[in-house]
Structure 1
């Protein structure tokens, strides 16, 4: 009988991947020394290797060479922007950019796919008043100088809206998850898909919607089901009848433009906020400043303020929970300068009432 050898296919596959990554890194190091014509010292060939390395890191493939060539040009422009932004850092710059998984998308493409907020609709049926109007935060109280609802067990893990413009649903649901935990002691991941499918009163599924309308739907429906019972699919479908587990009585707005009022609300519960996210596509960490935002801000994205604090360099910030996955920003979170209404963060904020 002829001798034979049993080969471990997993080991071979792993070894092949490792050698491929090593080869790309080696080419990257060699290409980095070529003559450069673009920002950051990368020439055309070096940038192509950089793109190839990024593709391997993020598992990106393209339909054909034409699409790859187009995406390379987009990647190159984004890489030049990231390099220039980070190279321009000084003692006053407290944030950095990075080539994350969105680095081969134009900003227009990214904004169309990953945002989706609409302005507050006329005639929104909010509850009268602002329940935290008499709350005064003391500078002497350390418990009020730093708030992080993650540490208090009122924030679920980072989610991902995918290429569906329903940020409005995620921002509203995260705030409801927060107040439900605060009032009951139980943190439950609730269903954005239910809001996406069933809240059609003025909202338009993946094509955009209103935070306040989402709150109205949740209150009128008697609450929301769990995410497990009604899982997210990143596409609008037929509304299903499911048993709610977390209810609210309504919602209130934070006085527009008043960051002190927003802080009073966030000190008591997570709050849904609207922001101008044009410059957040390639955010890598640190405290984004008001100077990085558009003036005036164009409110186009919804996130959830789950705390605030002061960075090591003394920059006060809002802690914002986003829904672009854990690999974006600081584990899915953004810190945004506090005290300057950066990106319109205090312009259109609201919260659910238990």
Structure 2
């Protein structure tokens, strides 16, 4: 039993480590309609897409762009949005592993350096989409911690069904997630102000994260196995919703649009079958990144952005 439990935790940790490696050593709440701003006004000017691996489409073929370490896919949601809107002046500066700090500073990747993402903005920019914040929260670290706490709890014969929640609410990690979220909020506020300064004519959309886990933890029992305790599935989902809620509040405070990708992704989480899910599980399909969007997920996120712009897709 001990050996099986340790193997399960190792699988989760290896999966999260693989994601972190894909994100250059670093990597989300249903609220309201698809966006706080809906308009059918045609998009004009240049389109700049910024963000992390959920935006870049890490490991989704075809991969391209420079630097190669950013893991940009030719079918990520910005590319699909640009194609649907017929935008020829399109620049994708999203990068796997990006945090809010790398909107204004250069990012070292495993294969090249990505310039500060907001450097791509200018007076001619007409549309900006920005999907970021998950790496600031350290979402992959949280998942890894949940695996460790589950094994520790089981081996010591504990009674809680959510040992990871206990760690972050009453244990050594108490308040850690809240502090990370607050810091990300503050950095994002500054970044959005800077984006508006650099591209004063642009329509700016802050894009939230799709549902990683189902609202019913029992539906993930087989997919997650012994990796994460049943009660912690709900806990992890709640942290993602807090992140999305912060992003929505920050967008509203900054006077920019918010794109809700969580609501349309319900029923497409990582515990769904391969032909339904938007997010890959730890045992991802060949070549894809665990706990990251697949091509179907990028299509779904593109649909949410287009809906926020008042455009059919």
TM-score with structure 1 setting the length: 0.27
Instruction: Indicate the structure whose relative CO is greater, using CA pairs within 8 Å and at least 6 residues apart.
Output: 2
Q: Which one has a larger percent helix, Structure 1 or Structure 2? A: 2
Larger-Rg structure: 1
TM-score with structure 2 setting the length: 0.29
